[in-house]
A and B are shown apart, each in its own frame.
Chain A
Amino acid sequence: MAESDPIPPPRARLASEPSPDGVDHVFPGARRPDRHRWVESHGLRLSVWEWGDETAPPVLFAHGGFDFAGTFDGLAPLVADAGWRVVSWDQRGHGDSEHPTLYSWEADVRDAGAVMATLGSAPMPILGHSKGGALILQLAESSPHTVSHVVNLDGLPSSRSWPDVPEHNRTRMRQAETTSWLEHRRTAGDKARRPGTLEGLAERRGRMNPRLDPAWIRYLVPIGARPADDGWRWKIDPTLRPGGFGPWRPEWAMARLPSLGMPTLCVLGRELEPMGWGTLPEDVVPNLPPGGRFFGLEGVGHFVHIEQPRMVADLVLEHIS
C-alpha cells in the first residue's frame, strides 16, 4: 500500500498546504480538501480526498470523465460545512491516481466500491456528475445495501447526441474511427501530455468547457496538472481520449434509473453544450423511480455544480439530510 512508501507519490495540495511556487491558487468559494490518502483497488493506487470532519457521516462524490476530484472544490466544502464528510477519488488514470493498463466501466465501479469499503459498512449517500452520475447508477443497482441516497448531476446519458446516419455511411465512419483508434492504441503507450504554461493549459481546457469562468479553469490547472522541467502537463493518462467505440448505448445507463429503491435526485442543466448528453426532462421524468425527484436548472450548463455550487449544494443537502 502506498501509505507506507518511503517516498509518497506526488499529489495536488491540501487546504493546509502552500500553493505551488509562483501560483496564486485561489478562486472565490473554492477550498482544497482537508485530507488525502491512498486506497488500493485490486493492485491499483487511487488518490482519495476528503473535506470536512473525519467523524461526520460520509457522502461519496464521483467526478466526470476527464475531470478529477478537485473539480468538487466548489461544491464539496458547502456540503462538508453542513456536517458531512465528503469523500471523492481521482478515478483510475485521472488526477493523482495511477494510470492502469486498461479501462472499463466495470473496473471504475469496482474502484468506487474499494473507496466505499474504507468508509464503514453503513449505507451512505452517493453523488455523481456526468460520467460519475452514470457510474453511481450502476453502483447503486449493483450494491443497494451500501447506498442510502442517490444524487445524479447531469449524468443521465441520452441518445439525442448520437448522430443519426444511414448504416452504409456509419460503416465508413466506424472504419475510420477504428483505424484511428488502433493507431492510437499502438502509439499511446509512449506518449506524454503536451507541456505548456498554466495559462496555456487553461486555455486548452477552456475550449471543452466554454461556459465555465476562465478563472475557475486556471484554478483547476495546479490540481489536475503537475510541473515538469519543460512546463505543466495535465496528469490524465495520455492513453485516454474522448469518444471511442464499443457496444455501449446511452439508454443502458438510463435504464438503471427506474430500478433504484433509495431516494433519488436527478439534476439537469438545461443549457445544452458539447460536454453534455443533450438529455431533456422528458427523457428523465418517465424513468424516475417511485418518489424520485427531478430538477431542471434553467440557464445552467452541464457543469451544474461548478456554475451554481450554492444552488446545487442546497438541493443536495435537502435531499440527503
Chain B
Amino acid sequence: MNETVILRHNRVDLALHHLRDAVEDDVQALLVLHGLGERTPATAPAWTDGWPGPVWGLDLTGHGASSPSRGGGYTAEILMADAAIAAIHLGTATVVGRGLGAYVALLVAGACPDHVRGAVLLDGPGLAGGGPAPGSPMMVAGAVLPVGPPDPFALVEMTRDVRPPDYALSWVHQAVEGSELDTPLAVAARVRPPWLAAVADSPGVADITLDEALALYSTL
C-alpha cells in the first residue's frame, strides 16, 4: 500500500488505504469495500486495472487497520456511515463492494448520492446477512472466539443483520432520486439473496458484469 489516511468516525479510527494513483486526470476515485471478515488488499486488485482514476480501499469498523468496537454493536448502517465518511473525504467516488461491502455500497449510494457516482455490487463474504426476516434469536456470550482483526463480534453480528427486500429498495429509491445518473447502481453479483434480487430488478439498477459497470461509471 502507498498511503493510509486515518479518518475519524465518532469513536472509531477508520483506515482508508490509497492503492493506486490515477492513470487519467479528472476521473473520480474508485472506493473498494471488502467483504465480511476481509480487509483492504495490500495492492489494487487486478480487476481495477481498467479504472482510469485513483483506487482506494476502506477497512470497515472492526476490520483490517480500523478500530474494533468493544462488546460489539455492529450494524450495516454504522458501516454505511464509515463508507460515507470515506466518500466525502474523497469528494466523489464510484464504490465497489464485495459481499457485506456490496450491501454497504447500496446504502451509501442512497445516503450520499452527491458523493457516490455509481455503486457496483459484487459477490463476497457476508452478502446474504441474516436473511429477509428475523430468524430464531441466539445469544453469543462467553464463547471463546479468535482474536481479531476482524473483530469476532463483527463476524457474528453482520451474519445476523436482517435485510428485508423492501428496506433494500428504499435505498435504491434514495439513490435514484438523489443521483444525477440514470443508473446509479449496478449488480454484478452471481448470487442473489432476496435483498439483492429485489435491487437487481429495480428501475435505475443495471444488471451487468463488473467490467461493464466500471466502464460505465468511468465514462460518466
Interface residues of A (CB under 8 A from B): 41-44, 92, 100-104, 106-107, 109-111, 113-114, 117, 138-139, 141-143, 167, 170-172, 174-175, 178-179, 181-182, 185-186, 188-189, 239, 244-249, 252, 255-256
The answer to whether the Cβ of B217 comes within 8 Å of any Cβ in the partner chain is: no
Task: List A contacts of B153 (CB < 8 A).
Answer: 42, 107
Interface string of B132-156 (1 = CB under 8 A from A): 0110111111100000000001001
The answer to whether the Cβ of B174 comes within 8 Å of any Cβ in the partner chain is: yes
List of 10 A-B pairs having minimum Cβ-Cβ separation, nearest first: A102-B73, A101-B69, A44-B71, A142-B137, A43-B70, A189-B10, A102-B69, A247-B167, A113-B141, A42-B71
Q: A41-B71, A117-B141 are in contact. List 19 more A-B contacts (CB 8 A).
A: A100-B69, A100-B71, A114-B141, A138-B137, A139-B139, A141-B136, A142-B137, A142-B139, A143-B139, A172-B177, A178-B110, A179-B111, A189-B8, A189-B11, A239-B11, A244-B77, A247-B164, A248-B162, A252-B134
The answer to whether the Cβ of B163 comes within 8 Å of any Cβ in the partner chain is: yes
A243 vs chain B, min Cβ distance (A) = 12
State how many residues of chain B have any CB contact under 8 Å with chain A. 47
B111/A185 in contact, CB under 8 A: no
B104 vs chain A, min Cβ distance (A) = 13
A156 vs chain B, min Cβ distance (A) = 16
The complex places the Cα of A172 from the Cα of B133 at a distance, in Å, of 25
Given A41-B71, A189-B8, A110:B139 Cβ within 8 A:
yes
CB-contact partner of B137 in A114, A239, A256, under 8 A: A256
B10/A188 in contact, CB under 8 A: yes
Task: List B contacts of A44 (CB < 8 A).
Answer: 70-71
User: Can you name the residue of chain B whose Cβ is closest to the Cβ of A108?
Assistant: B73
Task: List B contacts of A246 (CB < 8 A).
Answer: 75-77
Task: List A contacts of B161 (CB < 8 A).
Answer: 247
User: Can you name the residue of chain A whose Cβ is closest to the Cβ of B176?
Assistant: A171
Given A101-B11, A106-B160, A182:B84 Cβ within 8 A:
yes
B139 vs chain A, min Cβ distance (A) = 5
Taking chain B's interface residues, is the majority helix, strand, or loop, or is none over half, making it mixed? loop
A123 vs chain B, min Cβ distance (A) = 15
Task: List B contacts of A181 (CB < 8 A).
Answer: 81
Task: List A contacts of B9 (CB < 8 A).
Answer: 185-186, 189
The complex places the Cα of A105 from the Cα of B61 at a distance, in Å, of 18
B174/A171 in contact, CB under 8 A: yes
Interface-centre pick from B12, B78, B139 (highest chain A CB count, 10 A): B139
Task: List A contacts of B157 (CB < 8 A).
Answer: 104, 106-107
Task: List A contacts of B69 (CB < 8 A).
Answer: 100-102
A94 vs chain B, min Cβ distance (A) = 14
User: Can you name the residue of chain A whose Cβ is closest to the Cβ of B12?
Assistant: A101
The complex places the Cα of A247 from the Cα of B75 at a distance, in Å, of 10
Taking chain A's interface residues, is the majority helix, strand, or loop, or is none over half, making it mixed? helix
Given A175-B178, A182-B84, A167:B173 Cβ within 8 A:
yes
The complex places the Cα of A43 from the Cα of B153 at a distance, in Å, of 12
B137/A107 in contact, CB under 8 A: no
The answer to whether the Cβ of B67 comes within 8 Å of any Cβ in the partner chain is: yes
A106/B72 in contact, CB under 8 A: yes
Task: List A contacts of B112 (CB < 8 A).
Answer: 182
B73/A100 in contact, CB under 8 A: yes
The complex places the Cα of A155 from the Cα of B89 at a distance, in Å, of 41
Task: List A contacts of B73 (CB < 8 A).
Answer: 92, 100-104, 106-107
Task: List A contacts of B167 (CB < 8 A).
Answer: 247
B75/A104 in contact, CB under 8 A: yes
A106 vs chain B, min Cβ distance (A) = 5
CB-contact partner of A92 in B68, B71, B177, under 8 A: B71
Task: List B contacts of A42 (CB < 8 A).
Answer: 70-72, 141, 153
User: Can you name the residue of chain B whose Cβ is closest to the Cβ of A110?
Assistant: B141
